[in-house]
Amino acid sequence: MIRAALAGLVGLVLAFPAQAYERMPRSDCRDALSAGAAAIGLDQADIYAADNARHVVTADGWCRLFGDDPMLGGAPFATLDWRAEGISRLMVEGRPPEALEIRIEDWRTEPGDPLTRGATRRPAPVDATLSLRHVQDSRQLILESLRIGSDAGDELFLTAVFERVDFSSAAMAQVSLGSVALGRLNARATLNGWVENRVLPSLEIEGDPQAVRRMVRDGIDLLPGHLFDTAARANLDAFLDALPAPRGTLELGLRSDSGMMFSGVGALFLFGRALDTADPATALLDGVHVDVIWTPDPNQTE
């Protein structure tokens, strides 16, 4: 089911073929970054930093920022490259571009960072690539790919489709933020240390292996029963049995009949409940189905 869904998502992406990215002019690198900082409401100091950071264009035509640039205040990466289509509408109208690609080398986190709080040691740096494309006719934002990998062998690959995204004007872009819904998501994670070194510390889940498994299982048991069919639940249970240090490949496929509202997700995290309902998980996840495949790899070692 997951592989079929992933194939369908690839077909959807190919139905809207990407135009060839043009080489980014250095002036656009600077102007677009400062315009983007202003569009998302950053303060004048951040806009000034974006405008005065060291911008170069790589040999293959991407804009590049450097983590050691003093204007970026100690950014946690070695380099960040990006390129975009339809960049003029961001600089002139304040609308998001038609497409955006980002690649990051040596993305570093420290034990005190939010993603690694509680970690006993500094996780290995990772490289990341992101590709987004907006299709105005169908009001879809397609996450063509998000890939994060480390030298330790861990890797996350994710694709998704977000519905009800309207970038026809700057005003509509703001309005549609309240109606964005997740239609489909497919993820594949190769795990060789990430769970115990990144995920569990970020959730402040710790203790002996049995306690960790019990805490995670108790949280999952609060979810509506319709999310997982028998096969998915069996695979999920097998993954939970491998905690706190699973080694193998976890595949997840999420599909929603009516779209999972991001506003509901935000309310659930911020207030502990969905808006206008006494049963947040059931309301938020109504019509949502999740497929799970867990393939352990006993030969994988950290």
pLDDT value for 165: 93
Tens digit of each residue's pLDDT (9 = 90 or more) over 135-147: 999 999 999 999 9
CA atoms within 13 A on the CB side of 282: 5
**pLDDT of 101 higher than 50:** yes
**pLDDT of 25 higher than 90:** yes
Residue ranges of the domains in the chain?
2-17+106-296
**pLDDT of 277 higher than 80:** no
Q: How large is the average pLDDT for residues 275-302?
A: 75
Of the candidate ranges 97-111, 169-183, 254-268, the one whose mean pLDDT is the lowest: 254-268
Q: What are phi and psi of 17, to 5 degrees?
A: -60, 135
In a 3-state reduction of DSSP, which class is residue 123?
A: coil
pLDDT value for 188: 97
**pLDDT of 278 higher than 70:** no
Task: Name the strand (E) or helix (H) holding 145.
Answer: strand 140-150
Q: How large is the average pLDDT for residues 80-90?
A: 94
CB-based contacts of 218, cutoff 8 Å, min separation 6: none
**pLDDT of 49 higher than 60:** yes
pLDDT value for 117: 44
pLDDT value for 40: 85
pLDDT value for 110: 58
pLDDT value for 9: 37
CA-CA-CA-CA torsion for 244, 245, 246, 248, nearest 10 degrees?
160
Give the Cα-Cα-Cα angle 38, 112, 271 (nearest 5 degrees): 65
**pLDDT of 132 higher than 60:** yes
Tens digit of each residue's pLDDT (9 = 90 or more) over 193-247: 889 888 888 778 888 899 999 999 998 988 888 899 999 999 999 999 999 999 9
Q: Do 187 and 160 form a contact (C-beta atoms < 8 A)?
A: no
Q: What is the pTM of this model?
A: 0.81
Rounded Cα gap, residues 67 and 88, in angstroms: 26
Tens digit of each residue's pLDDT (9 = 90 or more) over 246-256: 999 999 999 98
Q: Please, which pLDDT band fits residue 63 given cuts at 50, 70 and 90?
A: very high
pLDDT value for 265: 52
